[in-house]
Structure 1
């Protein structure tokens, strides 16, 4: 390969590595800003994360606001640390300090993996399937980013200024592999434990919450299916023998999306005495 070709490869590889660092720096910057603003404002359409976390924990029976706020503080702290290390990696990269940039990027990758693992466990616990899909995808994108970054940082594609000053440049790859295996094992264990502890929600009947006169609300869990629906109606009829089910309807999509379990239905009833009287008058 001639000098021009070597220079072209070095330029392309360096550009891709720089884009990877820039992407994660911007990604965590926007996440931190979203936590700091905490909602919608001028030129920023965000989400009230405090309210979101409180709804999540309330759906699990933990209605104390400080529990949700503490979880949000931990999540925000992880995001801030990830931002700091990726920004530091980008700064060292622009200054052509490849070894320092790689070290900062490695720590940023570790924090990012821990953060998305933390989020994924929460998604399982609170039954948010859409957030779980998003965080799982970003978890694998994080691994792919590190793999591409290390692959492109080959010895022949670094300038003399960027060459590491000590051996063992790829020692971090082994650490990332061990960390990834550990996180996968931990996450898998939490999933199996969750299934073992809460899989009964797939078949158990739910409680109907009175929300008005002759109106009851039922919120489905993540694993709820048709059997839960049938068992819930049977339980409702046993608990309210004087009520007759008039009709059942679900909440509109915008309202359902605000709930962690994403499915709510309402049972509208009438008193059996009134129904019997109406039937008698009809027959007459």
Structure 2
């Protein structure tokens, strides 16, 4: 029973599912930004103005504006702001945003597809991880150019995570790249061992 569960919920399957949903949902999120509306609920009141006649009547309330709808983060406004700094108009910003979103959706579909196919499965997995790392690398360069340190931290973290998972996949799913990596690693470790064990000559 435990063996069946371990095989069903293998580490590789969980990792691939995570990245598939990660890219798919992130890509779709860029197409669903919600709408910017005032939050008029009583609990959202920021401040009030009281009437000066001593009756403590509220004559003015300040409420925040919030994004409402199916969304993770409103990328439209953020991307437009980035491109405004370069003097580029809104349409160019949105075109780039939706192009990136389409790439993310394709990557997500490729990850999920690899869960259900046996033909060239390992090659698809390795390729999608390489593309993922390339995308995060590109995002990081973009963040540096626009001075967004929070996004740089986030994309840099995901780049490291994708690299770790890629190496794990290489070891778990052997192939030509694994053999090369294994050979290089073995050579380096052997050199280090020989250096440590080398007798000292006085």
Q: TM-score range by the shorter chain?
A: 0.5 to 0.7
Quick one: distance in 2 between partners of 1:15 and 1:9?
Answer: 10
Return the offset for 1:84: 1.9
- In the alignment, is the contact (CA less than 8 A) between 2:76 and 2:94 conserved in 1? yes
Q: Deviations over 1:210-239 (max 9, x none)?
A: xxxxxxxxxxxxxxxxxxxxxxxxxxxxxx
Q: Distance in 2 between matches of 1:175 and 1:135?
A: 28
Q: Is the 8 A contact 1:120 1:132 kept in 2?
A: yes
Q: Which runs of 4+ in 1 moved over 3 A?
A: 7-14, 39-42, 172-176
- State the shift of 1:35 in Å: 1.1
1:18 to 6, 9, 13: 13
Q: Aligned with 1:47: secondary structure?
A: coil
**Residue 159 of structure 2: aligned partner:** 139
Match of residue 171, structure 1, among 170, 176, 191: 176
Distance 2:177 2:9 in 1: 19
Alpha-carbon distance between aligned partners in 2 of 1:51 and 1:142, rounded to the nearest angstrom: 28
With over 3 angstroms needed to count, the CA separation of the structure-2 counterparts of 1:174 and 1:57, relative to structure 1, is farther
Unaligned runs of 5+ in 2: 35-66, 182-202
Q: Number of paired residues?
A: 149
Asked if the contact 1:82–1:112 (Cα under 8 Å) also holds between the matched residues in 2, the reply is yes
Bigger mean CA offset, 31-40 vs 122-131:
31-40
Let me know the Cα RMSD of the aligned residues.
2.9
Distance across 1 between alignment mates of 2:148 and 2:15: 28
Q: 1:71 to 1:37 in 2, by over 3 A?
A: same
Choose from 72, 77, 82 the match for 1:46.
72
Distance in 1 (CA, whole Å) between partners of 2:10 and 2:91 is 44
| TM-score, structure 1 as length reference | 0.47
Paired position in structure 2 for 1:64: 89
CA gap of 1:119–1:107, structure 2 versus 1, over 3 A, is same
Q: Is the 8 A contact 2:28 2:105 kept in 1?
A: no
Give 1:67 shift. Answer: 2.4
SS in 1 for 2:10: helix
- Tell me how far apart the structure 2 counterparts of residues 38 and 131 of structure 1 sit (CA, whole Å): 18
- The answer for the alignment partner of 1:111 in structure 2 is 131
> What's the secondary structure of 1:36's corresponding residue?
coil
Q: Which residue of 2 aligns with 1:27?
A: 22
Question: What is the rounded CA distance, in whole Å, between the counterparts of 2:92 and 2:101 in structure 1?
Answer: 14
Contact 1:81 1:108 in 2 (8 A): no
Distance 1:50 1:71, change over 3 A: same
Change in Cα spacing, 1:72 to 1:174, as seen in structure 2 (3 Å) is: farther
Distance in 2 between residues matched to 1:141 and 1:9, nearest whole Å? 28
**Of the two structures, which has the highest relative contact order with CA contacts closer than 8 Å and spacing of 6 or more?**
2
Alignment of 1:235-274 (within 5 A): none
